[in-house]
């Protein structure tokens, strides 16, 4: 809580602890009806948001912050106190109901603006304007019959499809609980354990610290649900380790950013995305993680291969662990990390997602109390609750704002017409629609938390993909991938910039390097739309062939990205390997044969004695931005 005045830090701590405890107890015992429980949840989130993101940097609260805090408490309390009466007179709001609804809407827009920037409040404002004035548009341009202020406010504030709708409900019942689980795993030593385990497994090999970063950040990223938060937790350890053995600063930062970002693609948790997909796809948790596992493994295999080829190209050494990682370490420290995750997966076979997380939290509290090093003191527990609430608050505020958009889309009927509008714009061409969805996901993901970006686009754009024959699972995974990868896509690559700041590297250079390292993540979604075998959907022969060919394809892609295979790659060799990787990732035996032929040709060409040296001398860690290569 650096930078906060002591009284403000204390307020955030109290509100954060209250938010987490309230969420756990309310999800478990259901004290309040749905609208009221979300009103309390949002009020506590507003308090944290307006304290954490004040209007000015002055130690004293500005009058507008005081007004916002008071309005948050009043509008939330109004829902709780008047709940039964509101349900009776729904559809015929009183002037007080309308006034409270307007105030709550303005609060949501302002809290989201402070927490996540202008993008989602601007979209919500456009949606509100469309609902209010869309009756003046021609029918061909989306004109509707028109709605009164009372009707608009009712849908936003007094029903379960607006501010207090599914988007906020998912934050309450899933996302905050998973963020809390990640925070508790961190303070009980989970991050340190993963780094030590990865160091024991891969640290001694070429470029070992880079491979350690890929594995440890990927594993922890699946729980944390935030690429930037994962970078800030792991990056302070992994980036200096990489620089110490010769990784250039921008490459070290890019490796950490790409690894941290991909964690949300990796089962079993996928940063809580798997559990949100259950709501939209209408299938089981097991089906989702089975479909997601191969694309995620391919992403990390490509990243691991790129780190390896970079390390071999520049002769980067490994870094053996300072002390052996014993079986006792694995048993004691690994139990604290892996047992709660195992409980989540097992509990999901019988219970709802939020109950599975609650069982996992209970397991963590028990097993962490056994080793002294991971034991939770009251101070550590309070700090973990505060950290979880602070990390979740921007997502909660954005989700409430997305609730406004969804309510207006449904009220005006735009949700039913939008898929046809998209298809007409693209001329019913699947590739064009996929590119439109990709660009929209990347754009929104630059200003929205990943889960909120997914919620919005799953509601608005997934139906267009399904109408073109894309499978429901493939459509939703496609949207999820690009919302996540926006974190390392310039010009607004937040995870890459956070890592670059830690590594002391040029931020834009870091962003483009992270994008190159994650290139497989931009290719694979298109491939699994056209070839569902990558989602393990198909005959056994199709699936086995897809696994083998795509695995080889992403390894070759790593070589092409880093410019090294047997020796350094010439331009034509690099282009040939890039083409081979695309052909192998695409499902089909003809493309596989062509890809294998290209790889064989490059391999034979590289074996010719035409190079003075296959391995350049190691590159010193301290290089200037001007000296930096790929």
- Give residue-wise pLDDT tens across range 119-130: 889 999 999 999
Of the pLDDT bands very low, low, confident and very high (cuts 50, 70, 90), residue 14 is very high
When pLDDT is averaged across residues 470-492 and rounded to a whole number, the result is 92
The average confidence (pLDDT) of the chain is: 87
Distances (CA, A) of 70 to 18, 35, 77, 396: 17, 20, 11, 19
The pLDDT of residue 608 is: 80
> pLDDT grade, residue 521 (50/70/90)?
very high
pLDDT at 602: 95
pLDDT at 612: 47
| Dihedral sign (CA 576, 578, 581, 582) | negative
pLDDT at 417 over 90: no
**pLDDT tens digits, residue range 356-391?**
889 999 998 888 877 666 678 888 999 999 999 999
Q: How far is CA 123 from CA 126, 165, 408, 444, 580, in A?
A: 5, 17, 11, 10, 41
Q: Residues 475, 289: contact at Cβ < 8 Å?
A: no
Q: What is the pLDDT of residues 123-166, one digit of tens each?
A: 999 999 999 998 888 877 778 888 999 999 999 999 888 999 98
Residues contacting 23, CB < 8 A, separation 6+ = 41, 172, 176, 177, 180
With 50 as the cut, is the pLDDT of residue 628 above it?
no
Choice among 66-75, 123-132, 181-190, 600-609 with the minimum mean pLDDT: 181-190
Whether the per-residue pLDDT at 534 is higher than 50: the answer is yes
Query: In Å, how far are 97, 479, 522, 547, 572 from 592, measured between CA atoms?
Result: 63, 27, 20, 12, 20
According to the model, what pLDDT value does residue 372 have? 62
pTM attached to this predicted model = 0.83
How many residues are there in the chain?
630
pLDDT average, residue stretch 74-103? 93
> How high is the pLDDT of residue 157?
94
Element (H, E) at 446: none
Confidence (pLDDT) at 624: 38
Q: What whole-number distance in Å separates Cα of residue 607 and Cα of residue 150?
A: 76
**pLDDT reported for residue 626:** 36
Cis peptide bond N-terminal to 268, omega within 30: yes
Tokens of 239: 């980036």
Task: Note the pLDDT of residue 318.
Answer: 81
What's the CA angle centered on 165, arms 390 and 19, to 5 degrees?
25
pLDDT at 321: 63
> Per-residue pLDDT for 5 more than 80?
no
The answer on pLDDT for 329 being more than 80 is: no
Contacts of 355 (CB under 8 A, 6+ apart): 347
Give Cβ neighbours of residue 490 (< 8 Å, ≥ 6 apart).
496, 508, 511, 512, 515
Between CA 55 and CA 42 the distance in angstroms is 19
How far apart, in whole angstroms, are the C-alpha atoms of residue 62 and residue 466?
Answer: 49
What confidence score (pLDDT) does residue 91 get?
A: 79
Question: How far apart are the C-alpha atoms of 501 and 250, rounded to whole Å?
Answer: 10
> 127, 408 in Cβ contact below 8 A?
yes
Contact between 354 and 27 under an 8 Å Cβ cutoff? The reply is yes
């Amino acid at each position: 809580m650096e930078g906060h005045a002591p009284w403000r830090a204390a307020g955030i701590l109290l509100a954060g602890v209250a938010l987490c405890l309230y969420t756990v107890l309310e999800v478990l015992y259901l004290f309040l009806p749905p609208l009221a429980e979300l009103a309390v949840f949002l009020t506590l989130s507003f308090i944290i948001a307006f304290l954490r993101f004040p209007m000015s940097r002055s130690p004293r609260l500005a009058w507008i912050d005081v007004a916002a805090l008071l309005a948050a408490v009043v509008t939330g309390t109004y829902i709780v106190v008047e709940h039964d009466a509101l349900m009776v007179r729904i559809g015929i709001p009183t002037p007080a109901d309308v006034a409270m609804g307007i105030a709550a809407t303005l609060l949501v827009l302002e809290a989201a603006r402070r927490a996540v920037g202008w993008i989602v409040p601007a979209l919500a404002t456009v949606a509100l304007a469309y609902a209010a004035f869309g009756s003046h548009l021609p029918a061909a341009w989306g004109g509707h019959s028109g709605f009164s202020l009372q009707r608009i406010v009712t849908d936003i504030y007094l029903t379960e499809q607006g501010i207090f709708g599914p988007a906020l409900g998912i934050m309450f019942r899933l996302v905050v609980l998973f963020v809390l689980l990640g925070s508790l795993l961190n303070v009980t030593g989970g991050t340190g354990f993963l780094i030590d385990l990865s160091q024991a497994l891969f640290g001694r090999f070429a470029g070992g610290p880079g491979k350690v970063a890929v594995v440890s950040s990927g594993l922890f990223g699946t729980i944390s649900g935030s690429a930037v938060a994962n970078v800030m937790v792991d990056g302070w350890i992994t980036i200096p380790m990489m620089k110490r053995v010769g990784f250039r600063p921008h490459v070290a930062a890019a490796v950490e950013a790409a690894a941290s970002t991909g964690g949300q693609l990796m089962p079993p948790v996928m940063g809580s995305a798997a559990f949100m997909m259950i709501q939209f796809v209408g299938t089981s948790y097991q089906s989702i993680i089975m479909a997601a596992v191969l694309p995620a493994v391919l992403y990390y295999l490509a990243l691991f291969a790129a780190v390896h080829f970079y390390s071999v190209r520049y002769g980067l050494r490994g870094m053996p662990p300072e002390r052996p990682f014993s079986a006792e370490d694995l048993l004691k420290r690994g139990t604290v990390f892996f047992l709660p995750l195992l409980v989540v997966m097992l509990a999901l076979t019988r219970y709802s997602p939020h109950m599975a997380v609650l069982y996992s939290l209970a397991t963590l509290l028990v097993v962490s109390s056994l080793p002294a090093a991971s034991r939770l003191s009251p101070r550590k527990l309070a700090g973990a609750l505060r950290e979880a609430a602070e990390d979740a608050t921007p997502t909660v505020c954005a989700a409430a704002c997305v609730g406004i958009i969804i309510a207006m889309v449904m009220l005006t009927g735009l949700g039913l017409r939008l898929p046809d509008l998209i298809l007409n714009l693209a001329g019913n061409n699947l590739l064009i629609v996929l590119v439109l969805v990709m660009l929209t996901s990347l754009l929104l993901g630059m200003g929205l938390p990943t889960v909120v970006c997914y919620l919005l686009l799953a509601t608005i754009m997934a139906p267009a993909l399904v109408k073109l024959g894309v499978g429901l699972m493939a459509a939703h995974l496609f949207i999820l991938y690009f919302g996540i990868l926006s974190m390392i896509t310039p010009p607004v690559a937040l995870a890459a910039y956070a890592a670059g700041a830690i590594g002391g590297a040029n931020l834009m250079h870091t962003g483009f390097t992270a994008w190159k390292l994650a290139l497989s993540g931009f290719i694979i979604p298109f491939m699994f739309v056209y070839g569902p075998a990558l989602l393990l959907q198909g005959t056994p022969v199709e699936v086995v062939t897809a696994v083998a060919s795509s695995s080889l394809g992403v390894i070759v892609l790593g070589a092409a990205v880093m410019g090294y295979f047997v020796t350094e790659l010439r331009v034509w060799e690099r282009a040939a390997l890039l083409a081979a990787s695309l052909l192998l990732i695409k499902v089909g035996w003809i493309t596989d044969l062509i890809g294998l032929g290209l790889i064989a040709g490059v391999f034979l060409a590289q074996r010719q004695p035409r190079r003075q040296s296959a391995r350049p001398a190691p590159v010193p860690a301290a290089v200037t931005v001007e000296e930096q290569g790929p």
